[in-house]
Chains A and B, each alone.
Chain A
């Protein structure tokens, strides 16, 4: 299994500001994803973070609002831009560890509150 860490674990931000969330994995992984979990809701995929190229976004999510970087096979960032209270959620990164397995592991999450 992969060990995943996220920073920050939680934050309280003001409307109109941006926050960058980091996801670090202890081993090289083939795929990394970013999910959002709004209060009382289940998880929704935001995008697939592609190493060395632009992320692939799901319907309803755009790069200007959620820019993603993945400079290598162990690290990715998600930025939540121009935040509003509706962006208050838990943001989770997940990974598929490698060849021969489809098991998807999740990080501990970043709890974001926007005032």
Chain B
């Protein structure tokens, strides 16, 4: 079965700093989702990547999928306290159509 490993597990940065979160798959990715979760709440969809080498940006967040489609990175430029939360990568696959397998999450804290 597919496994996703995120690094780092947690990250503490000062406001204004840039940061990167990585998501590595044990198998070729046929799609990769990034979500943000506030503690105890639902998931907010950020971006979906499907093609090798694809890069998408939304506001100050950029996500990339490598050419080999086994690793994705999420980069935040000039972080703000509003970026704090848990970032989860998820990938489709497995026996159930639509099923997403998730990484363990990266907890981001941004100090003002």
Contacts and interface: CB of A to CB of B under 8 A. Distances in A.
Contacts, number: 59
Nearest to B89: A42
B102 A108 contact: no
B112 interface: no
Interface residues of A, number: 25
B96 interface: yes
Nearest to B98: A31
Contacts of B40: 90, 109, 111
Contacts of B100: 43, 45, 94, 104
Contacts of B44: 106
Contacts of B41: 108-109
Nearest to B50: A102
Contact of A107 (B31, B42, B99, B103): B42
A78 interface: no
A56 B42 contact: no
Nearest to A31: B98
Contacts of B48: 102-103
B98 A104 contact: yes
A18 interface: no
12 contacts: A4-B42, A31-B97, A31-B98, A33-B99, A41-B104, A42-B88, A42-B103, A42-B104, A102-B31, A104-B90, A106-B43, A106-B44
Interface of A: 1, 4, 6, 31, 33, 41-43, 45, 48, 56, 58, 90, 92, 94, 96, 102-109, 111
Closest 4 CB pairs of A and B: A108-B42, A106-B43, A42-B102, A109-B42
